[in-house]
Structure 1
């Protein structure tokens, strides 16, 4: 806050892989009651991975942005704060290498079609606070805007199978009003209301290229007609470039409101015991206006000596919507055993709203086109596609969350600890899966699940200037009843019972250990010496519901050492010092597995000047 600090900071940093960063911040007061802060930054790197198809960096990135904040005390009771943020990023993207589950190796990146991402975002908000001796009334009004452009080689190989060029425009308004008590009595209360409107337009045409026509679409028709000697021979054809265009435009507006209340009563029955109870009424409406089609697709038909070419003109247009209404209660007990120690237990209902997967429409429009053709030439093989509302939507996720914990200062001024136990009973868990046509990630529902575990935090002042932080978490998140449906290499449906399997993307163990040492020096060449190191670990992480692909537990070590002389700070930093080779992300496309590796060892220097 400019009321707490006034001055200017200038920071510049450089490192290997072409890393460079610059940031300027200014904090100042304009009179006694108004403060202003400004900052701007620029950040870039040359990328960490090579695309061997054209011998270029696969993930070069550049970003820039700025922040502006104006704070003021308009009267003794009224405070106002306006904040404005703008960010811009452009990068090459999606450095996935094909993964061989048999050998556990990741092939080099070989992407032949452009893969990039460009985004600009704008966020601004106005916060007003009216404070009296009895209550505090606050209002938060926010507006967000996003525009992006994504080009993706969706087969992630040197083949010309298919590409996606997706553009999004998004804006959102939100308003929250909250009032809470501001007295010293045992009873404390708060009430509030929240409303929002989101508008999102997604234009995401998919282009099937020559290898996609012959290797995927043509094979699909051949497989269907393989056992029917009387069926005609069908040949898939595209435009003059031998491409098929699948346009898709989607509007997914959402709006909703919520009302909430919370009451706390302190010193209940005995001193130090408090109870908190709250409830939230949440409503949301999600809509989908869709247009998806098959363009420039032709089918060559041969029956004996007769040959003809038929254009395929399949389109899907419509509008669907979903309404979600939830009542979310919460209750907790807290007991302050001593001034340094308290324990608590809590129960709360959790909820994630449902929505729509627009990337499913690649599958849907292809299925509709297949059905239209098979109805003419092989009616017994025609499979009617599912309804849009059933295939493209996903349901809400519900959970009951139980937690118990203790926080204590074990050694005054030296050692504090926090221990938490938790259990989550989840229904209709939302999972990340992959579209059958390879066109991207989807959200699906996966039945019931349990998640339980423990979190431990220790903070210690070992000696003057030396502190240590240790955090450990254990999570066991498994399915209770989930049947995973997939297709084998022969396009036959295969069902796998995933009961007791671990939920994907959830690390079993997380651990971090941080050490920081600060030494002030008098009458020396330098005024201060600072050194810090951080060890982090995560795993085992399963990437699939079947638990057949995983990332074992891995560790990263980062460090920083620096000196200060007057207004100048010099630092040497490094990340992933041990150059650990690990999997950062997993993806599937057309039954092929792809992995993005974590960033390698980085090192660089930084200078900061504070005026």
Structure 2
């Protein structure tokens, strides 16, 4: 009851800040700083920052959330995962490691493999979501675009797109040093400087480091689970040779080291939480280097831009795959990827009645993944020897005349290595045309189309570093005595090797109509097609090796068992050889998104309101599922999602900033049968039904150069189903955050807290193989972050 009353107290006088207040100039937003109010021209066409868009923020015909530098600071957004808390219908669960960035918009998303939500940083596309989760440093603004963006941005943006822009060295000059600390031994330091070399050239340079202990404790070793260390640097150079030619060079490096993971055992029948209690190492190390060159030429009639990028990713994941004190098996995944992209865009100059855009895009990614699975002594006993003996006992029940057979394995450890090379490349051509004031003033129509081609290969080599060996004993009870009839030794070399490939050609159209019926109000309707790439499941190779063990074991019996002559009864399973491609591959996912909405400014621009309704028809939706020894991606058949987003932004007085945002998503399976169960009519997992953001800030100007700002946010989401069966879920919950900032021209002190009421909630749930009883999976849950608080001190000069 105390938590509810405190929540109502804060909600009674504060609402959220997702955008900035509007001045009497309808195209200018105002932002408070230590010197009072300064204006940002959000409608200014800064082509170097976005080669594909001209639309003023307010006039953008789509569902969008905009976060300014001040929003990012007040909401204490430190990484991409934090954005999820403030944007309607965006869900990025914070669990596991930086490897895992499972982004969902409107019920469409991805837990593993290809992303469904795209990420661009300074217009550089991050094609691999293993690199999505990076720490922020001097971010200027963030845009979250909901709905398919594939016509302009290509595959894997079928649910939406996140654009992140760092500060331009032409817009900010000076040096900032920040020191911070908090509970759980949190500490951070960053330094950033930005300088103009002359009127045509400017650069910025920054570095960052942070660390913290994990929020929870592993009972097995009494150590915190989730300790994190992250460091990085960034560099930006911009050259404006003249009014027509511009060049920007961006570079970012980040290195991270995490210990984990805080997965509690969970009884889904009773809803009771167990301990974090596992014995083998779990950790994640990652290095990411990203660089890009953006060049632009402005002609009187057109603008031409070139964007070239390179990204290098090197990481190493260790996983106690069973998350129990038993030594069952561990998983390691080590990736090394080189990604190169090139895009050329030409478009008409702005403020023309006829707007057009055309471009080409190419990408190449060379990736090598090492994915060994190490079966430890308990795993060999439970998963190989005991399971084989259970199958032999079942055969004995069916065929009583058979002798009693038992398998004994000599190996104390079975290390199955896997090396997978997955080069891919793609090409695309796209165009978009807009007719303004068509037939009548204020009516515009847009049509766009993208032709996208992708080629993906996999060369795989999965093998055991030593042969599986042991013996099979056959006994028979004769006159009360067990007589050994035979002892057959076996030595089984294990391995699979081969290559597969897939080609995808897609057309991604977009249609849009917009009517502006006043200077500060418009409505729109759109239809767009999106798709997400298909791919391969590396973890399925362990299942194929298990099938190989069963087949080779039976062949040994058939060839060597006295009197059988090769006529051994089957132990179960198909006798047909498995198609590797059918087992490991999954198909592309496709969707049509239909949307209507509008936006308006009222009360002398003190109130902005927008709303959007959507319906999504999705075919072959990619669903993450447990299969044998790991988690894989499968195609679900068909899903449907509908809902809305709405927001209000108000500035009743110049010292108060208020915003409220709400999203509703109803996502269900229209057709999905996984071969064992029919999930038709069930809710799609990992799609919160409600998202709510209510935040606000009040600034007290102590004098001309000093201000004191109070801010608070109430952030809610739920109900979230965790499984296709809909048997485990997290109900709606809310988090209360707050902060106080004292600032002047040269320094700033900020006290902040997150989850102020220490609300307990589930951030993630999964099921995995129960080695002791394969009929019932083990369930695990990760608890959301508890109450955290700290202080940041920033010095500017």
How would you bin the TM-score normalised by the shorter chain? Answer: over 0.9
DSSP 3-state at the match of 1:255: strand
**Contact 2:692 2:716 (C-alpha < 8 Å) held by counterparts:** yes
| Cα separation, partners in 2 of 1:568 and 1:481, compared to 1, 3 Å | same
The equivalent residue for 1:12 is 179
The equivalent residue for 1:603 is 789
1:539 Cα deviation from its structure 2 partner: 0.6
- Does residue 516 (structure 1) correspond to residue 706 (structure 2)? The answer is no
**How does 1:393-412 map onto structure 2 within 5 Å?**
393-412=585-604
**How does 1:256-295 map onto structure 2 within 5 Å?**
256-294=426-464, 295=466
CA deviations over 1:312-348 (Å, ceiling 9, x no partner): 1121000000000001111100000100100000011
**Contact 1:232 1:301 (C-alpha < 8 Å) held by counterparts:** no
Equivalent position to 1:250, from 413, 417, 420: 420
DSSP 3-state at the match of 1:584: strand
**How does 1:112-261 map onto structure 2 within 5 Å?**
112-229=279-396, 230=402, 233-239=405-411, 242-261=412-431
**Contact 1:238 1:244 (C-alpha < 8 Å) held by counterparts:** no
**Contact 1:344 1:406 (C-alpha < 8 Å) held by counterparts:** yes
1:164 Cα deviation from its structure 2 partner: 1.4
Equivalent position to 1:354, from 502, 526, 534: 534
1:379 Cα deviation from its structure 2 partner: 4.6
DSSP 3-state at the match of 1:497: coil
The equivalent residue for 1:449 is 639
- Does residue 496 (structure 1) correspond to residue 677 (structure 2)? The answer is yes
User: How far apart in 2 are the matches of 1:249 and 1:566?
Assistant: 55
User: How far apart in 1 are the matches of 2:369 and 2:408?
Assistant: 28
TM-score normalised according to structure 2 size: 0.73
The equivalent residue for 1:489 is none
The equivalent residue for 2:524 is 344
| Cα separation, partners in 2 of 1:231 and 1:277, compared to 1, 3 Å | farther
**Contact 1:360 1:391 (C-alpha < 8 Å) held by counterparts:** yes
**Contact 1:374 1:382 (C-alpha < 8 Å) held by counterparts:** no
DSSP 3-state at the match of 2:651: strand
**Contact 1:28 1:36 (C-alpha < 8 Å) held by counterparts:** yes
Equivalent position to 1:332, from 512, 535, 546: 512
User: How far apart in 2 are the matches of 1:228 and 1:444?
Assistant: 32
- Does residue 558 (structure 1) correspond to residue 737 (structure 2)? The answer is yes
Pick which of 69-78 and 131-140 moved more.
Answer: 69-78
**Contact 1:399 1:425 (C-alpha < 8 Å) held by counterparts:** yes
| Cα separation, partners in 2 of 1:13 and 1:443, compared to 1, 3 Å | same
**Contact 2:264 2:782 (C-alpha < 8 Å) held by counterparts:** yes
1:359 Cα deviation from its structure 2 partner: 1.1
- Does residue 470 (structure 1) correspond to residue 640 (structure 2)? The answer is no
**Contact 2:395 2:569 (C-alpha < 8 Å) held by counterparts:** no
**Contact 1:539 1:552 (C-alpha < 8 Å) held by counterparts:** yes
Gaps of 5+ in 2: 1-167, 397-401, 476-483, 558-567, 770-776
1:261 Cα deviation from its structure 2 partner: 0.4
User: How far apart in 1 are the matches of 2:257 and 2:350?
Assistant: 50
Bigger share in strand = 1
User: How far apart in 2 are the matches of 1:499 and 1:298?
Assistant: 45
- Does residue 302 (structure 1) correspond to residue 473 (structure 2)? The answer is yes
1:183 Cα deviation from its structure 2 partner: 5.0
The equivalent residue for 2:127 is none
| Cα separation, partners in 2 of 1:59 and 1:322, compared to 1, 3 Å | same
**Contact 2:338 2:365 (C-alpha < 8 Å) held by counterparts:** yes
1:386 Cα deviation from its structure 2 partner: 2.5
User: How far apart in 2 are the matches of 1:410 and 1:328?
Assistant: 36
User: How far apart in 1 are the matches of 2:369 and 2:729?
Assistant: 33
**Contact 2:736 2:756 (C-alpha < 8 Å) held by counterparts:** yes
Equivalent position to 1:540, from 711, 719, 738: 719
User: How far apart in 2 are the matches of 1:139 and 1:26?
Assistant: 27
Q: Which has the higher contact order (CA 8 A, sep 6+)?
A: 2
**How does 1:520-531 map onto structure 2 within 5 Å?**
520-522=701-703, 527-531=706-710
User: How far apart in 2 are the matches of 1:577 and 1:184?
Assistant: 48
| Cα separation, partners in 2 of 1:511 and 1:289, compared to 1, 3 Å | same
1:411 Cα deviation from its structure 2 partner: 2.0
CA deviations over 1:149-194 (Å, ceiling 9, x no partner): 1111111011110011221111100000000000533111000000
Pick which of 421-430 and 582-591 moved more.
Answer: 582-591
DSSP 3-state at the match of 1:463: coil
Pick which of 371-380 and 215-224 moved more.
Answer: 371-380
Gaps of 5+ in 1: 486-494
| Cα separation, partners in 2 of 1:463 and 1:368, compared to 1, 3 Å | same
User: How far apart in 2 are the matches of 1:341 and 1:500?
Assistant: 38
User: How far apart in 2 are the matches of 1:411 and 1:298?
Assistant: 80
**How does 1:45-124 map onto structure 2 within 5 Å?**
45-124=212-291
The equivalent residue for 1:458 is 648
| Cα separation, partners in 2 of 1:289 and 1:138, compared to 1, 3 Å | same
How many residue pairs get matched? 596
User: How far apart in 1 are the matches of 2:488 and 2:360?
Assistant: 64
DSSP 3-state at the match of 1:496: coil
**Contact 2:332 2:372 (C-alpha < 8 Å) held by counterparts:** yes
1:375 Cα deviation from its structure 2 partner: 3.4
TM-score normalised according to structure 1 size: 0.95
**Contact 1:9 1:26 (C-alpha < 8 Å) held by counterparts:** yes
**Contact 2:395 2:571 (C-alpha < 8 Å) held by counterparts:** no
1:74 Cα deviation from its structure 2 partner: 2.3
Equivalent position to 1:431, from 623, 626, 642: 623
CA deviations over 1:57-103 (Å, ceiling 9, x no partner): 11100000000000001233110011010000001022111110111
- Does residue 572 (structure 1) correspond to residue 572 (structure 2)? The answer is no
| Cα separation, partners in 2 of 1:54 and 1:415, compared to 1, 3 Å | same
DSSP 3-state at the match of 1:228: helix
1:380 Cα deviation from its structure 2 partner: 2.2
